[in-house]
Chains A and B, each alone.
Chain A
Amino acid sequence: MPRWLSLVDGPQTLGRGPAFWFVLGVIVLVAALLPTFVNAFAITNLTYFLVWVFMALGLSLIWGYAGILSFGQTAFFGLAGYTYGVISINLGDAGLWTWFALLLSLVLPAMLAILVGYFMFYGGVRDVFVGIVTLSITLVFETFMAQTAGPEWTIGSARLNGFNGMSNMPPLTFPWGENPIIFDGTSLFWLVLALVVLVYVGLRILVNSRFGNVLVAIRENPERAEMLGYNVRLYQLFVFVIGSVLAGLSGVLYTLWGSYITPSSMGLTAAALPIIWVAAGGRKDITATLFATVLLTWLSQQLAVKGSQYALIWMGVILLVVVLFAPEGLFVTVWKKLRDGRRMRQRATAPKTVSLPSA
């Protein structure tokens, strides 16, 4: 195994070893084969849950690992969505143009993140102030985009269309002789699933590398990290850019999923949601974030389907229970309980140790 790949397991991530990867592999395999078992809607819906994972993983990296609470990741989400809309509507779906639009939709959030990140980290903005700056940015975007209803707000042939949102952008298309591959339905699902696996493994390697260790050092004590000779600001900037590009990726995929993007996806409620997912799952671990995001988006939809007007109340109650009884986040707490339980059992079955009164 090459050295860099061995970093998928390490001190900064929960879960390691063949058993863990076997279970994860089975989950991915089952997911990949799902389209043969379930109906089209289930696949569309699962794609929808996975679309949000990237923004959440990015936030887990920024907040959980580097200790920077950004409250406005939706700014990058929205910017990417609108960029894809404008570019793809203008250039059409011929050739590789939709992929060019996708690429540009990741480059623009990266540039915005460099700008904002430089502005904040090199300007001494920290703690809760980072949250308020990023929140302000996303709300400025939302307020501005909401009023672009008139025909004067047109870029090329793309109407921004204000609060009602922009729609009818072409899907990702790959030229393939007579029948170009259109990423829609099942093929979009596979694409998103592949990206989730790629980003997840990539992030595991990143956070277990030296870079990740430094991030955690900065989170625990920025002054000490600085004294040890690390360029704290550069690390913060870098991690902020990665997280923001991931938010952008979610934005593009969301736009592709519904062929629709709206200013309210940058509003206050939308901005708070990723924070809820990440915090409820356990912000200091990307595996926890991944599963929490899928679980919570699924749960809130299920509640809305089944619980009618009590849906939001149930959602609130569930979140309260999680936060009170799983202090490190649902998944991290459960994981540690399981691990401790196993160790305890191992110890209990070992002949020399005195067995504990409780099982």
Chain B
Amino acid sequence: MNSASPIRFARSLLAGTLAGASLLISTHALAAEPIKLGILEDQSGNFAIAVIPKIYAYQLAVDEINAKGGVLGRQLKIIHYDTQSDNTRFQEFARRQIQQDKVDVIFGAFSSASREAIRPIMDRAKQLYFYNNQYEGGVCDSNVFVTGAVPEQQFSTLIPWMMEKYGKKVYTIAADYNFGQISAEWVRNIVKEQGGTMVGEEFIPLSVSQFSQTIQNIQKAKPDVLVTLLVGANQASFYEQQASANLNFPMASSVNVGQAYEHKRFKAPALKDMYVTANYVEEVVSPASDDFKKRFRAKFPKVEYINQEAANAYDAIYLYKAGVEKAGSIDQAKVKAALGSGGICTDGPSGKVCIDPKSHHTSHRIYLIHVKADHSVDIPKVWDDIQPYWLGTVGCDLSKKADQSQYTPSNLPKK
């Protein structure tokens, strides 16, 4: 606590008392009114498979908090619209939630494209927004908080470990859009740093579902490690096709298993020797995780798999709660300041998660998930408390300077 704090506290107390006295009746009415949480997630369309558990997770967290008396004595209320995996829907509904429903905070978006579709709208309205998804990293935005894992958390752990275990020749196949290209850039840089070589790099349009040519290319290059950054239902077909062609290379990924639980959906051994870094999967065994799963399944017995993004969504609600309680208000500017002031943490299903004031991203415990031949999973390694450090080191510091950009290793902030 710094020295100015008591004075500020006294001042806000005074202001609060005055405001409270003059608006006694209406304050009373306000206190009864719930806090409105806008949620924009895909209940239908392409991404529904990975997003439905997320929607459940928001509901779970909100119900738990409400059962314990809410936040600042007020109940939480979810306003959810189905964005149908459609970027235009995201824009329509973001505006609806901001302008018509006047929500206090927005949570949502699965794909980076949908996040980028609504980020300009959030920024224009200075709307507090949580993006709760693993992604390609680099969003440095004063209005945005990110609870998903980013490349420095997933690749700086995964790639060196794989190279040490299997060898230094790496082949990357990646979805041919922002996420895949930027992630591939991260892999390339880390492989180089670690003294390895890229024996191939291939980008695949999202509409491709047939992989014979790619499989041949990989066989010709004979890598030690195959990094697969494939996205969506079409591209997921790669795994069955590589297994039936007996490709048999150890694979590494930041997206699979943790999002769309391919190891549950595909017949073994399509994902044999797949290694994934995730901040949560259902197979994590710990008192916190087991308890979380029990509560989750009790409330939503239909859920097929409790994925990484469900944990992120769950944590996001609790982080928002912590921010509001620290700010003592749901005023968005104050909540943003509180969330970005440091020390905002929650103990979620995966472990302790804290917001980094510089980048508005969160620290994570990262699990290395290994899919075995029978598609059961073991966790050979856990990295504790990995920080989302990259944005901070390249010059994004939201605690000092407001920003609304997305940076990549080849597109750094101007100094």
Contacts and interface: CB of A to CB of B under 8 A. Distances in A.
B44 A312 contact: yes
Given A147-B177, A162-B181, A304-B84, A41 B206 contact: no
Contact of B181 (A48, A150, A262): A150
Interface string B98-139: 111000000000001101110111000000000000000000
Contacts of B112: 163-164
A327 interface: no
Contacts of A150: 181, 410
Given A146-B206, A262-B113, A162 B178 contact: yes
B120 A48 contact: no
Contact of B89 (A146, A167, A304): A304
A231 to B, nearest CB: 39
Contact of A258 (B80, B113, B120): B120
Contacts of A304: 81-84, 89, 93
Interface in B192-238: 203, 205-207
A56 to B, nearest CB: 15
A306 to B, nearest CB: 9
B411 interface: yes
Nearest to B88: A265
A157 interface: no
Contacts of B92: 45, 48, 301
B362 interface: no
B81 A147 contact: no
A168 B178 CA distance: 17
A309 B302 CA distance: 15
Contacts of B140: none
Contacts of A301: 89, 92
Given A151-B408, A165-B113, A41 B84 contact: no
A259 B116 CA distance: 11
B205 to A, nearest CB: 5
Most chain A CB atoms below 10 A, which of B84, B93, B206: B206
Nearest to A312: B44
Contacts of A45: 92, 95-96
Nearest to B119: A167
A359 interface: no
A44 B88 CA distance: 14
Interface string B177-191: 110011000000000
Contacts, number: 99
A165 B99 contact: no
B109 to A, nearest CB: 11
Q: Interface SS of chain B: helix, strand, loop or mixed? A: helix
A258 B81 contact: no
A200 interface: no
A163 B206 CA distance: 10
Interface residues of A, number: 34
A147 B205 contact: yes
Nearest to A268: B207
Nearest to B97: A41
A149 interface: yes
A258 B177 contact: no
A260 B91 contact: yes
B99 A40 contact: yes
Contacts of B207: 143
A149 B408 CA distance: 11
Nearest to A150: B181
A146 B96 contact: no
A41 B99 contact: yes
Contacts of B241: none
Contacts of B206: 146, 163
Given A45-B96, A264-B113, A149 B120 contact: no
B82 A309 contact: yes
A265 B113 CA distance: 12
B116 A165 contact: yes
Contacts of B93: 304-305
A305 B205 CA distance: 32
A336 B89 CA distance: 34
A149 B44 contact: no
Contacts of A216: none
B118 to A, nearest CB: 9
Contacts of A44: 95, 99
A260 B410 contact: no
Contacts of B116: 161, 164-165, 167, 260
- The 3 A-B pairs at the shortest CB distance, nearest first, are namely A41-B99, A163-B177, A41-B100
Given A41-B100, A260-B120, 15 more contacts: A39-B99, A41-B96, A45-B95, A146-B177, A146-B205, A147-B181, A147-B203, A147-B205, A149-B181, A150-B181, A163-B112, A258-B120, A262-B113, A269-B86, A301-B89
8 contacts: A45-B92, A146-B206, A147-B181, A150-B181, A162-B178, A163-B112, A165-B116, A262-B117
Interface of B: 43-44, 80-84, 86-89, 91-93, 95-96, 98-100, 112-113, 115-117, 119-121, 176-178, 181-182, 203, 205-207, 408, 410-411
